[in-house]
Amino acid sequence: MDFTAFKEKIREEAAAAGISQYELLYMTNDSVSVSAFGGQIADFTAGITGGVCFRCIVDGHMGLAYTQDLSDSSARSLVLRAADNASVIESEETEYFSEGGGDYEDYEPANMAQAAPEELVNTVLSGLEALKAADEKVTDGCSASGGATVQEMYLMNSNGVDLKYRGSMDYLFLEAVVSNGTEDNNEYELKLGEPKDLDLNDIAKKATDKAVSMLGAGTAPTGSFPVVFSPEAFTSFLQVFSSSFSSDNAAKGLSVLKGKEGEVIAADIVTVIDDPFYPDNPARINFDAEGSPAHKKAVISNGKLETLLYNLKTAHAAGRETTGNAHRAGYDSPVVISPFTMYLVPGEFTEEELFEKAGNGVYITSLGGLHAGANQITGDFSLMSSGFMITDGKKGEPVKSFTVAGNFFDMLKDVTAIGSNIKLPMPLSSTAFASPSVLVRELSVSGK
């Protein structure tokens, strides 16, 4: 059955089960993706997927169940399972659904014309050719992929909240594989936009140049050095440690920022903003996963922690308003607290000026193994890195297979200069991160 009929069925089943407080979320994704290898299309995938999640509050406790099966019997089972799950929750925090009626900002949702499959196929094949033409070191291992996706979401609850979101976007992803005869390297470049608007040669050149520049890389020396992080590298830090800004993690003793609101936690040049309407992110939206209005806010302002991020539950527990940061990765995921697009506000320097300020140090362009080498609770990190030496204030030879180690929160206090070159490297998610280049006074590097 369709969602409208399913919604009615849920209403009946909830009433029959004596459940008066509930919420229904429906998400669908209509997407086409194409990938090419060796001069021809290798994979083509198309489909509509999605599902529905029912949440209910029974005696102050939240229960949920989700399904992709929109049948009569499924509606009944969904309601009963959610209620049963609610009945065994032991957490003492009281749960709430949005009362609605908030101030939802006007905004421009992403609305790219969904590329036709033929158009995607042509773009991807041309992208692959552009890679081949970009540099003589490019190998046959290159690949190109592209996609078009339309996402829809409906959120309604028993308090009368009834919200709808629709966003669409197209993307192209080029992976350059290059070789100098003795070693291979790969790099990629991702660009959003309708196929007709993309400059394929420019995207290919960026991916290829990055890959070629790392060929013949040595290993960095071991020691303590000034470090300049590229926008991509520093974005990785924001992504990994953003969980520390969740008031839920703070309340549970899983964040070092517990009790630090209003305190200075970073150098005074550091300002971090969370913005649901960040222009470069197509996943712009004016409500959060609980239906509260979403808005732009400073998280760190000139080094001071202005606020953690809250949802309805943690805001009530703290006796304050939600910041509208309830988030769900999908209909099949629970509500967590996370930013929309969180970014470090750019400073005034070019990367070259940051290298000059660093003197002799390391320029890190890529960090790996973030899910393993970074402790989200303590802020400690020890991460595989690649980049370039900085010698006498200038970018020098490429280096890889070394690690950089430190503590994220100590590092925030040690930021000595910020670049003007902000970038949002992975704009494919409703939680995204952007950063300019950043100079840190000193970090531990382990290499040869």
- Between 95 and 170, name the residue whose CB sits nearer to another protein: 95
134 or 176: whose CB is closer to another protein?
176
* Per-residue tokens: 16: 């029959």
**Shortest separation between residue 356's beta carbon and another protein, angstroms:** 26
CB 261 to another protein: min, Å: 20
Rounded to 5 degrees, what are φ and ψ at 314? Answer: -75, -30
Closer Cβ to another protein, 101 or 369, answer by number: 369
Judged by beta carbon, residue 174 or residue 422, the one nearer another protein is: 174
Q: Which is nearer to another protein, 92 or 136 (CB)?
A: 92
- Least separation in angstroms between residue 246's CB and another protein is 13
CA–CA dist 132, 276 (Å, integer): 38
> Of the two residues 385 and 431, which places its CB atom closer to another protein in the complex?
385
Q: Which is nearer to another protein, 242 or 249 (CB)?
A: 249
Kindly report the backbone phi and psi dihedral angles of residue 58, in degrees, each rounded to the nearest multiple of 5, phi listed first. -125, 120
Nearer to another protein, 92 or 106 (CB): 92
Q: How far is the CB of 53 from another protein (least distance, A)?
A: 7
Minimum gap (Å) between residue 214 Cβ and another protein:
9
**Shortest distance, CB of residue 274 to another protein, whole angstroms?**
24
Q: What is the number of alpha carbons within 13 Å of residue 252 lying toward its C-beta?
A: 14
| Nearest-approach distance from CB 352 to another protein, in angstroms | 28
Q: Give 195 or 406: the residue with its C-beta nearer to another protein.
A: 406
Nearest approach, Cβ of residue 45 and another protein (Å): 5
- Least Å distance, CB 269 to another protein, is 24
